[in-house]
A and B are shown apart, each in its own frame.
Chain A
């Protein structure tokens, strides 16, 4: 059990008659790059919301590092080592890029509610901020307001804010959504780099060509249920997947 970092057992949530997530049991291995793939409306983001504590499940349980965290609040899950990004860009618009990431690094450094010492004098926080800025390739934008960034830059900033939390499990909700096509490989490099540093990554995507090479494991989610689960090559050739999800044909497109 020890190499399972995150586990959901019969996890489900209903909105009225709609079972958005329906009896999903998955075990996420530590250090692996797992991708959840599915068409729009398959329940991917809802599944993330359940894991990260934004939604309460109607059925099932969530285990993180072998502890039952089903009843944990979102903030406690973050403290336990879970970090998530959001599908819609979710940053602090009127603060600078540097400040956005610094706030995250400050949270990770557990500075606490210090009242009168300037934030500039916490060297560990500042050097961490600089390191993350480098990792998400935004050092040249450090003094720009987050609101003035391009969409692609905001996605990188968003990712940087999660990375600064040094999560053991990183939940990424379509980090390339809406990005300019030439920016996508950059984002993929950042994700690969993060994974190689030892972080367990759980990624949501709906474009298979992006993730086939990146992922150790592919989970196909359709209508709130797991349709297929396994290594990317097998799953992408699974006839059921081809039929239900992609209508066939496009799976072999290479990574951009």
Chain B
């Protein structure tokens, strides 16, 4: 049984794949021209939450580390975006927000790693990050002068600059789309780098990685920092789309959103988060739309269906949408291979 199982990234991209990718990008550049504002907003959210999901996948899928405080970085990104753009709504303040988020996420990720990596085991680490997340959310709720507390903080567009990027929904769509592409390539490069490879080794067998001479704590710290920065950036762009910040974005709900996105899309596949984000965002919108057009009472509780759907998905497609696709493809490749070389002697 020559199981030539192929992982998602084990081969260089071939020409047909590149052409397919170019075609896909073209489609997503053209379709917004035919979309309503609500659809544009939904698509933009999908793109940004996909990056957020990928940031989570770096930890959960690649390093095997469950962070229940990921929303700290996402929510902080949203807040800093709103706060900076409320000072002055132009490219310079956007860049300053990005710079601040970068610095804050690096420091925050580092501090978190120093606290979390003292604990032994995945569960203890998850509990500590959960506590950290709640601490940050509580501080944000009390610190009304800066965060607006539970009322939140709207993005005021009194001084409009940088048209049409932040003012129209179409501009925001393109902005989010470019953000997704840039971040996908950056995170893909990270996952393929020597460092990213060591993270997978840690996920598989941390003790062995240490006996290959890797300082696994150091690598986990790097993973946390990269993940935090990506989550912070996605928060910033999210602020531009939703034009609003509140403490929900810092809460466990938004961490679980990221978890859900990776779970649905496929853990440890990176691109799976794009599918996961699309599915998770779309299904909620779809059920709300359905409720509006049909008016059935039961549809007023969309989570009833969404929750059941997730349970079914976890049972029947534990590897997620993209993971399931890879499994199917491997199975097919194997079958074809074993047909081609039916009686190969195996060493």
Interface residues of A (CB under 8 A from B): 52, 74-75, 78-79, 84, 86, 90-96, 99, 102-104, 106-108, 111-120, 122, 125, 140-141, 143-145, 148, 153, 161, 165
Contact = CB atoms under 8 A, between A and B. Distances in A.
Given A99-B197, A103-B198, A165-B213, A116 B186 contact: yes
B201 A118 contact: no
B222 interface: yes
Given A99-B197, A111-B194, A114-B195, A92 B5 contact: no
B204 A92 contact: yes
Give the residue among B2, B204, B209, B214 with the most A Cβ atoms within 10 A: B204
Contacts of A92: 200-201, 204-205, 208-209
B186 A90 contact: no
Nearest to A79: B213
A90 B208 contact: yes
Contacts of A125: 194
Contacts of B197: 99, 102-103, 106, 119
B10 interface: yes
A113 B12 contact: no
A84 B213 CA distance: 11
B10 A90 contact: no
A78 B211 contact: yes
Contact of A103 (B5, B190, B193, B212): B212
A114 B226 CA distance: 12
Interface residues of B, number: 37
Given A103-B197, A116-B189, A117-B193, A96 B10 contact: yes
B138 interface: no
Given A107-B213, A143-B4, A143-B10, A114 B208 contact: no
Contact of A115 (B3, B190, B212): B190
Give the residue among B1, B2, B201 with the most A Cβ atoms within 10 A: B201
A116 B196 CA distance: 9
B215 interface: yes
Given A75-B210, A90-B207, A92-B208, A144 B2 contact: yes
A114 B195 CA distance: 6
B218 A144 contact: no
19 contacts: A75-B213, A90-B205, A90-B211, A93-B204, A93-B205, A99-B200, A103-B197, A103-B209, A106-B194, A107-B212, A111-B194, A113-B195, A113-B219, A115-B190, A117-B193, A117-B194, A119-B192, A122-B194, A143-B10
Contact of B7 (A78, A84, A90, A96): A96
Nearest to A93: B204
A152 to B, nearest CB: 9
Nearest to A167: B213
B6 interface: yes
B147 to A, nearest CB: 32
B1 to A, nearest CB: 8
A161 B204 CA distance: 15
B333 to A, nearest CB: 11
A94 B268 CA distance: 11
